[in-house]
Amino acid sequence: MRIIDDGDTLPAMDALTIPTDLVSAVKTARHIAVLTGAGVSAESGVPTFRDAQTGLWARYSPEELATPQAFRRNPRLVWEWYEWRRRLVAQAQPNPAHLALVQLEQIVPRLTLITQNVDGLHRRAGSRNVVELHGSITRTICFDDRQVVESWADTGDVPPRCPRCGGLLRPDVVWFGESLPPDALQTAFAAAEQCDLFFSVGTSTVVQPAASLPFTALQAGVPVVEINPQETPLTPYARWTLTGPAGKVLPALLRHVTSEGKI
Ligand code: BJW
């Protein structure tokens, strides 16, 4: 259901209408799973990946930056791109979408927050049960043995070298063609199958295997809510489509859920 088509809605507390049956579904849910993507951090000033003008890949294609092959080809370019993004993320603050998800975790018996984002903003906002599918830009690993490296000598090398083995250092993120952390992946798919409400927020739903999570939920009979200003491959299948920025839609939903009594 698209909210713009919905006749049975609560009165707008702001410019958005929130379907009453969605509010009920949130209030009665025992376990909610939420999948987030880059759109959730857009209102914190962190660019998304695939927006034509402002996306992180506006100047380079993904294959030039986010693959092991790209790193082997031009490690300096890839390292410097991530250095730029690390600085951007360090200056960014959690936005109302992150904060609404913290609030949701506090009022639902169980919430599994599955994120594709590497910026750490969910944890910085205060979310506790966060599953990071694509790693974290704040950690550094050795390209050769994938061990986390906490510090290294500033020798002027770009990228710097692993203090243990001399290998090149890289960010602890998942590039195309690489496996996702198995524990995180298993937790995410189990949550998608076992939850009783699934939210997909701010993701283009194109990058696998994360993009399969809402469809796994659907196959298990779980209703899916999508929050996104744009349509995605998931849109035709979502029970509720809330068209708009997550930083407006999620707080509006939470206001409706909390204003009508506790779960
Ligand atoms: C807003 C908003 C606002 C804006 N509010 N919303 C099956 C079929 C075909 C291919 C594959 C397949 N299985 C695997 C593959 C290959 C590949 C893949 O999926 N390719 C596709 C492109 C087709 N997947 C992989 O390689 C994965 N590995 C793997 O599966 O290993 C096994 C294997 C390998 C090879 C073959 C087969 C099996 C690894 C994927 C790793 C993805 N890594 C990245 C980079 C992470 C590091 C970094 O940050 O640099 O992860 S790519 C990039 O995309 C990043 C993101 O997490 C990910 C998803 O992007 P996201 O979050 O959806 O962002 P956008 O920009 O796409 O969308 C933003 C959305 O927000 C838009 O919809 C906006 O409208 C919206 N929005 N403002 C709400 N205010």
Atom of ligand 1 nearest to the CA of 50: 66
Ligand 1 pocket, residue 206 CB under 6 Å: yes
pLDDT at site 15: 56
55-59, 83-87, 126-130, 228-232: range with lowest mean pLDDT = 55-59
Does 122 participate in catalysis according to the annotation?
A: no
25 has pLDDT over 70: yes
Ligand 1, residues 36, 121, 132, 176: which to mutate, most atoms within 8 A of Cβ? 176
Pick the catalytic residue from 31, 98, 122, 134: 134
Tens-place pLDDT, residues 160-170? 999 999 999 99
DSSP 41-68: HHTTT---SS-TTTSTTSSS-HHHHSSH
52 has pLDDT over 80: no
Hey, is 160 helix, strand or coil? coil
234 has pLDDT over 80: yes
Percent of the chain with pLDDT over 70: 92
Hey, is 155 helix, strand or coil? coil
Q: Ligand 1 centre and the CA of 227: distance in Å?
A: 17
Ligand 1 pocket, residue 50 CB under 6 Å: yes
Ligand 1 pocket, residue 45 CB under 6 Å: no
Q: Stretch 41-63: mean pLDDT, rounded?
A: 82
Rounded Cα gap, residues 206 and 214, in angstroms: 12
Cis before 209 (ω within 30): yes
Rounded Cα gap, residues 88 and 156, in angstroms: 22
CA 135 vs CA 93, 97, 114, 116: distances in Å:
19, 20, 11, 8
51 has pLDDT over 90: no
Tens-place pLDDT, residues 146-196? 999 999 999 999 999 999 999 999 999 999 999 999 999 999 999 999 999
Ligand 1, residues 40, 41, 49: which to mutate, most atoms within 8 A of Cβ? 49
- Does residue 133 contact residue 184 with C-beta atoms inside 8 Å? yes
263 has pLDDT over 80: no
53 has pLDDT over 90: no
pLDDT at site 259: 87
4 has pLDDT over 50: no
Q: What are the start-end ranges of the H helices in the chain?
A: 20-28, 39-42, 62-65, 68-73, 75-91, 96-107, 121-125, 182-194, 213-219, 246-259
Q: Stretch 207-236: mean pLDDT, rounded?
A: 98
Tens-place pLDDT, residues 58-94? 778 777 789 999 999 999 999 999 999 999 999 999 9
If one compares 7 and 137, the residue with the highest pLDDT of the two is 137
6 has pLDDT over 60: no
**How many Cβ atoms sit within 10 Å of the Cβ of residue 58?**
12
Mean pLDDT of the residues in the chain = 92
